[in-house]
Amino acid sequence: MTVSALVVGSLAALEELLDDRDLFPSWPGLDVVIVPTGAAFTSMVEASVATSTPFETRGARVEALMIADRSSNDEAHFVARLHQADVVVLAEGSALHARSVWRASAVGDALASARCLIAVGTTASVLGSTMIDPRGGAPTTGLGYREGLVITTSASSEQLTRTRTLLEDSLVLAVVGPTGAVIMQDSRWRSRGDVLVTRANVVVSLDS
C-alpha cells in the first residue's frame, strides 16, 4: 500500500479515489477494518454499513470494530485486527469523542501504526498533533497519528478566520471540503479537489 494516510471530505469523494490505480493498485482480497467510534452518539451500525460499502463492492474483506468507549480499548481482538489490517478507515463522526476514546490507549497506538489510515469527514481532525475544535474553531491537542498538517472540514467563514488567527504561523492548515481530499505518500502531503491550504493566513500549495 503506497498511501499511508488519506483524508476525504465525504464518502462520495472516497468513492472516486478508490478507483485510482496510482493510489490503490487493487482491492480484491485486501483486509479493511472500519472504526466507527466517532458515530457513537448517532448510529455506529449505519456509519459502518455506509463506510464499508465502497470497499465491499470492490472486493475487499471488511470488518467493522464497534469501539464505542474507553472500555473497548481493552479488547485484544480489536487491537490485533487494527495491527493486521491492510487499511483502517475512521468513519465520519465526532472528532472530540473519537479523541477521548482513542487517546493513550492500545487501540490508539494501533491506529497510529496502521499501514494505511483513511479518515472521512470531521473525524480526520484528530490525526495531527494539533486538531481544530469543531465547537468554535480553536486549535487544541490532537492525537499525532499523522504529522505535518492540521486538518479541518468546511465551516463558516467567521469560524475559519478565527481558526487561522489562533493557529501558530508555522502550522499548515488544510480545510477539506465535501469533494476534497489530502493524501500522504512517502511522508509528504498533497491535495486533490476542494481543499484550501494556508499557513500564517497565506494560501500555499501542498504540491510545490
Q: Is residue 117 pLDDT above 90, yes or no?
A: yes
Q: What is the pLDDT of residue 45?
A: 96
Q: Is residue 72 pLDDT above 90, yes or no?
A: no
Sign of the Cα pseudo-torsion (147, 131, 179, 55, in order) = positive
Instruction: Indicate the pLDDT class of residue 42, thresholds 50, 70 and 90.
Output: confident
Instruction: Indicate the pLDDT class of residue 4, thresholds 50, 70 and 90.
Output: very high
Taking only the tens place, the pLDDT of each residue in 44-59 is: 999 999 999 999 999 9
The mean pLDDT of 69-98, rounded to a whole number, is 94
Domain boundaries of the chain, sorted by first residue: 3-203
CA distance 161 to 39: 27
CB 42 within 8 A of CB 49: no
Taking only the tens place, the pLDDT of each residue in 19-32 is: 999 999 999 999 99
Q: What is the pLDDT of residue 156?
A: 87
Average pLDDT, the chain: 94
The CATH number of 3-203, from 3.40.50.970, 3.40.50.150, 3.40.50.880, 3.40.190.10, is 3.40.50.880
Global pTM value: 0.95
In 24-156, which residue ranges form alpha helices assigned H by DSSP? 44-56, 76-84, 95-102, 106-112
The mean pLDDT of 99-128, rounded to a whole number, is 96
The mean pLDDT of 9-13, rounded to a whole number, is 95
Q: Rg (Cα) of the chain, in Å, rounded?
A: 16
Q: What is the pLDDT of residue 208?
A: 60
Q: What is the pLDDT of residue 1?
A: 61
Taking only the tens place, the pLDDT of each residue in 145-192 is: 999 999 999 888 899 999 999 999 999 999 999 999 999 998 899 999
Q: What is the pLDDT of residue 26?
A: 93
> Longest C-alpha distance within the chain, in Å?
46
Taking only the tens place, the pLDDT of each residue in 194-207 is: 999 999 989 999 87
Taking only the tens place, the pLDDT of each residue in 94-111 is: 999 999 999 999 999 999
CB 18 within 8 A of CB 116: no
